[in-house]
């Protein structure tokens, strides 16, 4: 589409979203990591000088490791890549480096390679970097088990140096773990508030993160999330020393099969600093060969992320540990995914009690103490409610809910429904006034916000409101109904329509009664930090459905930005020339996939230097569309440079105006939204005091920017 009509922003928008999806962001980070590339090149050179002549690169990606092998003198080099996009990219890269005739590229999974159909004979060296933050997440164990059985020459015998043996780079890995206190992880993985803006969350609904609850037996979701711990807002505190989780010998088929068998083991970890135990983090030391290794540790200056295992909160919610306690962790590898599960915490104080218990074996004591620690299960039936991290952070965001409650109650008092106290006589015939206006005189509120939203409950709790909520998931609807019962809300005032059956705008429909809506709540910003697609269309429909004097929440959105210098944002968005890739030409091919809009950022921790003051990029008035400068015209914003440097990116966030006085900031500390940044096509050197012109173009929420003098 872009080729056909490069100016069409629609195609650009889709291309960005597709490109973002087609190739993972870590390709840029990896290829820009000169140290990592050097490490692999030297390890491959060593292996080839020591006699490895035929090489197979499993998961070649852009083909860089195969080119290292060929340049190092391998007689035959084969590469396989299961992703079509990456396979085509690798073809382009090999051609750009005049090596397409020297390396045989296969678009297939290594497990499907047949000898002699695809490769003529078994190889003496397999190179691969099919690892993720949890080491096993890209299937390296399964790939190498198959390779040792079908594609590699037999391994080097312990004694003599028999020629023509098989070898793998990386040769081994050591996985480390650590117990950590991290408020930011806690905020995204455990609902730590018991009441939000007047709504009690109670015990009857059990909120849990998608990580902990597998959606079903066939569901293979990674049991961890990944974070660059050195860039998590608010930082983290180590509660234990790093402990060794397991070692992996990639040159031993037996060791690999043992891991694939998924056995688990129990490790006791002493607590050396007291604190709130929020998660385990895990990383690894990847040994390429005897002399070369690279680490993905949290304190390394490398760009890699760590695996994070949020602790499934024990029912009493607090998991505070003290120095001298022992954290017992179960390590396992079910279907080759690394799992760290908290088994129990043995607190030093209760250990004395344990001493005077009949000395059973340690596991009985552990189990007994585990019961000490967990509160007895509530006998009441608990509704399970699975939430995404953004939904957990939203629920924990009390400022957000208090702000809505204040704004809605202002509307309620201003749009006082006429009291319809119809005359009613009691048994003695005395006249009574109905204090509560009956349902048809209530305000009608429609909440079409995405995800799990308790705003309708907050509104009904204020009284005189009949609320409709478009819960996407059945499980969320059940949980919301349970919450309305717990909070004594009359379900005559609450209706949950499953919007998943209808398309989005169907949920934006006329209210049941012939009245129109008094309040419509729209979601304007996605968790990733972008304006929601077709926001203006939705706002237009919503305006038609409002009763006179009705309100859309929010009524306005203001986009704020600034000019920054940030090497990090550059590194995460495109390959910086041939330097990092040791002279090989990879950048032109892969940078075609570069995506200028970076999302899911925590701006407060992205390394960057502000070069200008904050400025307003865009003002969207959802109540009066004619004031919106969101037409396809380009907007020009004058920006003053307050510090000399190289402008590489324009980070942006939003002020969400619920009404004239109440505003939410999507970049605030409690915000459940992440922020985004536009990385300029070419960085621009600027001097303090200069005034520049930032041209910004919007088209249905796709954005492009250019800086000119």
Q: Give the footprint of ligand 44T on this chain (CB under 6 A).
A: 26, 30, 58-59, 61, 80-83, 86, 109-110, 129-133, 138-139, 143, 286, 294, 296, 304
Least distance to ligand 44T, CB of residue 135, Å:
8
Tokens representing 693 are 């012109």
CB closer to ligand 44T out of 31 and 480: 31
Neighbours of 180 (CB within 10 A): 25
CB atoms within 10 A of CB 361: 7
Chain CA centroid to CA 402, Å: 26
Kindly state the smallest distance separating residue 360's Cβ from ligand 44T, in Å: 42
CB-wise, 304 or 654, nearer to ligand 44T? 304
Taking the C-alpha atoms of residue 424 and residue 421, their distance in angstroms, rounded to an integer, is 9
CB of 316 to ligand 44T, least distance (A): 35
Q: Which is nearer to ligand 44T, 108 or 486 (CB)?
A: 108
Strand segments (E) across 107-165 = 125-128
- Entry field: residues in the chain: 709
For the chain, state the CA radius of gyration.
Answer: 30
Q: Which is nearer to ligand 44T, 109 or 231 (CB)?
A: 109
Cβ 79 to ligand 44T shortest distance, Å: 9
User: What does the CA dihedral 534, 536, 537, 542 come to, rounded to 10 degrees?
Assistant: 120
Q: How far is it, in rounded angstroms, from Cα 490 to Cα 437?
A: 13
What is the rounded distance in angstroms from the CA atom of residue 603 to the CA atom of residue 676? 8
Shortest gap between Cβ of 298 and ligand 44T (angstroms)? 12
Catalogue the long-range contacts made by 410-415 (C-beta closer than 8 Å, 24 or more residues apart): 410/659, 411/443, 411/518, 411/519, 411/551, 412/443, 412/462, 412/463, 412/464, 412/465, 415/443, 415/518, 415/549, 415/550
Nearer to ligand 44T, 67 or 286 (CB): 286
Among candidates 315, 310, 319, 313, which has minimal Cα distance to 277?
Answer: 319
The residue among 16 and 28 lying less far from ligand 44T, judged by its C-beta, is 28
What is the token pair recorded at 211?
A: 């990580």
**Which residue lies nearer to ligand 44T by CB, 30 or 445?**
30
**Between residues 133 and 552, which has the closer beta carbon with respect to ligand 44T?**
133
Tokens 């078994």 found at: 122
Residue 106 beta carbon to ligand 44T: minimum distance, rounded to whole angstroms: 8
Closer of 59 and 573 to ligand 44T (Cβ) = 59
Give how far Cα 343 sits from Cα of 314, 354, 363, 707, Å. Answer: 11, 17, 11, 55
The distance of closest approach from Cβ of residue 701 to ligand 44T in the complex, given in angstroms and rounded to an integer, is 30
Which is nearer to ligand 44T, 139 or 390 (by Cβ)? 139
Which string of DSSP letters, residue by residue, matches 497-522? Answer: --TTTS-HHHHS---SSSS-EEEEE-
Least Å distance, CB 126 to ligand 44T, is: 11
By beta-carbon proximity to ligand 44T, the closer residue of 18 and 406 is: 18
- Report the relative pairing of strands 564-565 and 103-106 from DSSP bridges: unpaired
Q: Which helix (H) or strand (E) holds 483?
A: helix 474-486
To the nearest whole angstrom, how small is the minimum distance from the Cβ of residue 129 to ligand 44T?
A: 5
CB of 64 to ligand 44T, least distance (A): 11
Comparing CB distances to ligand 44T, the nearer of 79 and 385 is 79
Q: How far apart are CA 256 and CA 534, in angstroms?
A: 50
Query: Are the CB atoms for 39 and 294 separated by under 8 Å?
Result: yes
| CA gap 491, 626 in Å, rounded | 39
Residue 656: closest CA among 505, 531, 542: 531
Minimum separation from the CB atom of position 97 to ligand 44T (A): 19
Q: How far is the CB of 139 from ligand 44T (least distance, A)?
A: 5
Please check whether residue 257 is in contact with residue 142, taking contact to mean a CB–CB distance below 8 angstroms.
no
Strand order in the sheet with 339-346: 265-270, 326-332, 339-346
- Smallest distance from ligand 44T to CB 69, Å: 16
- Cβ atoms of 40 and 129 within 8 Å: the answer is yes
Chain CA centroid to CA 494, Å: 32
Contact 561, 615 (CB under 8 A): yes
Nearer to ligand 44T, 39 or 412 (CB): 39
Rounded to the nearest whole angstrom, what is the least distance from the CB of residue 591 to ligand 44T in the complex? 17
Number of other CB atoms surrounding residue 464 within 10 Å:
21
In the bound state, the residue with its beta carbon closest to ligand 44T is: 59
Q: Edge-to-edge, what's the strand order for the sheet holding 546-553?
A: 494-496, 465-469, 443-447, 517-521, 546-553
Task: Compute the least distance from the CB of residue 175 to ligand 44T, in Å.
Answer: 12
CB–CB of 248/172 below 8 Å? yes
Question: In angstroms, what CA-CA distances link 647 with 98, 199, 559, 571, 639?
Answer: 35, 46, 19, 14, 12
Question: Which is nearer to ligand 44T, 515 or 594 (by Cβ)?
Answer: 594
CB of 551 vs ligand 44T, minimal distance in Å: 47
For ligand 44T, the closer CB: 130 or 209: 130
> Nearest approach, Cβ of 640 to ligand 44T (angstroms)?
40
Contact between 238 and 277 (Cβ < 8 Å)? no
CB of 594 to ligand 44T, least distance (A): 17
In the bound state with ligand 44T, the residue whose beta carbon lies nearer, of 247 and 353, is: 247
What token pair was written down for 696? Answer: 């910004």
Which H/E stretch holds residue 39? helix 34-49
What's the CA gap between 272 and 238, in Å, rounded? 8
110 vs 172, beta carbon nearer ligand 44T: 110
Q: Which is nearer to ligand 44T, 178 or 294 (CB)?
A: 294
Collapsed DSSP state (helix, strand, coil) of residue 122 = coil
């Amino acid at each position: 589409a872009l080729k056909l009509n490069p100016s069409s922003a629609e195609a650009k928008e889709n291309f960005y979203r597709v490109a973002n999806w087609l190739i993972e962001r870590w390709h840029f980070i990896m290829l820009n990591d000169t140290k990592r590339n050097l490490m692999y090149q030297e390890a491959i050179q060593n292996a080839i000088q020591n006699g490895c002549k035929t090489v197979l690169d499993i998961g070649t990606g852009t083909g860089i490791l195969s080119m290292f092998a060929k340049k190092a003198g391998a007689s035959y080099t084969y590469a396989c890549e299961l992703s079509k996009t990456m396979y085509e990219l690798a073809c382009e890269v090999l051609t750009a480096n005049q090596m397409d005739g020297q390396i045989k590229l296969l678009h297939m999974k290594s497990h499907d390679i047949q000898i002699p159909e695809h490769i003529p004979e078994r190889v003496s060296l397999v190179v691969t970097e099919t690892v993720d933050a949890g080491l096993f997440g890209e299937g390296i164990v399964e790939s190498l088990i198959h390779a040792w059985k079908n594609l590699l020459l037999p391994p080097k015998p312990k004694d003599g140096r028999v020629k023509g043996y098989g070898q793998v780079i990386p040769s081994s890995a050591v996985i480390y773990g650590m117990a950590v206190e991290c408020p930011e992880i806690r905020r995204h993985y455990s609902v730590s508030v018991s009441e939000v803006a007047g709504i009690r969350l109670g015990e009857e609904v059990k909120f849990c993160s998608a990580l902990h609850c597998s959606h079903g037996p066939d569901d293979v979701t990674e049991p961890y999330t990944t974070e660059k711990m050195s860039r998590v807002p608010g930082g983290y505190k180590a509660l234990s020393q790093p402990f060794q989780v397991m070692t992996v010998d990639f040159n031993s088929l037996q060791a690999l099969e043992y891991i694939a068998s998924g056995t688990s083991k129990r490790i006791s970890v002493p607590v050396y600093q007291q604190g709130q135990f929020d998660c385990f983090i895990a990383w690894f030391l990847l040994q390429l060969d005897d002399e070369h290794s690279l680490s993905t540790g949290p304190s390394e200056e490398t760009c890699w992320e760590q695996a994070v295992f949020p602790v499934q909160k024990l029912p009493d919610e607090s998991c505070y540990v003290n120095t001298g306690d022992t954290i017992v962790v179960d390590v396992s590898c079910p279907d080759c995914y690394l799992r760290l599960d908290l088994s129990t915490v043995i607190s030093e104080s209760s250990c004395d009690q344990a001493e005077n218990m009949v000395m059973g074996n340690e596991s009985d004591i552990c189990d007994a103490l585990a019961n000490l620690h967990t509160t007895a299960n509530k006998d009441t039936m608990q509704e399970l409610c699975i939430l995404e991290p953004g939904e957990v952070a939203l629920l924990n965001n009390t400022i957000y809910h208090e702000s809505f409650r204040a704004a809605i109650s202002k509307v309620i008092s201003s749009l006082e429904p006429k009291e319809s106290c119809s005359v009613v006589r009691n048994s003695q015939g005395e006249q009574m006034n109905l204090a509560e206006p009956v349902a048809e005189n209530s305000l009608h509120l429609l909440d079409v916000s995405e995800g799990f939203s308790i705003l309708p409950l907050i509104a009904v709790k204020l009284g005189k409101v009949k609320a409709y909520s478009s819960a996407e998931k059945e499980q969320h609807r059940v949980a919301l109904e349970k919450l309305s019962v717990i909070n004594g809300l009359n379900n005559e005032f609450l209706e949950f329509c499953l919007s998943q059956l209808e398309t989005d705008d169907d949920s934006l429909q006329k209210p049941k009664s012939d009245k129109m809506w008094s309040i419509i709540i729209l979601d304007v910003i996605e968790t990733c930090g972008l304006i929601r697609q077709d926001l203006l269309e939705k706002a237009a429909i919503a305006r038609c459905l409002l009763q006179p004097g009705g309100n859309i929440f929010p009524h306005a959105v203001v986009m704020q930005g600034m000019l920054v210098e940030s090497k990090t944002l550059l590194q995460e968005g495109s390959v910086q020339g041939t330097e990092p890739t040791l002279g090989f030409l990879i950048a032109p091919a892969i940078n075609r996939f570069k995506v200028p809009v970076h999302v899911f950022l925590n701006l407060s921790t992205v390394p960057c230097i502000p070069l200008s003051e904050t400025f307003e990029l865009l003002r969207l008035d959802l109540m009066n569309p004619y004031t919106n400068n969101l037409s396809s015209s380009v907007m020009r914003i004058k920006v003053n440079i307050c510090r000399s440097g190289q402008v590489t990116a324009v980070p942006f966030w939003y002020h969400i105006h619920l009404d004239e006085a109440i505003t939410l900031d999507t970049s605030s500390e409690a915000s459940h939204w992440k922020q985004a940044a536009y990385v300029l096509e070419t960085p621009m050197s600027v001097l303090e005091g200069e005034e520049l012109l930032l041209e910004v173009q919007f088209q249905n929420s796709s954005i492009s920017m250019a800086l000119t003098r």
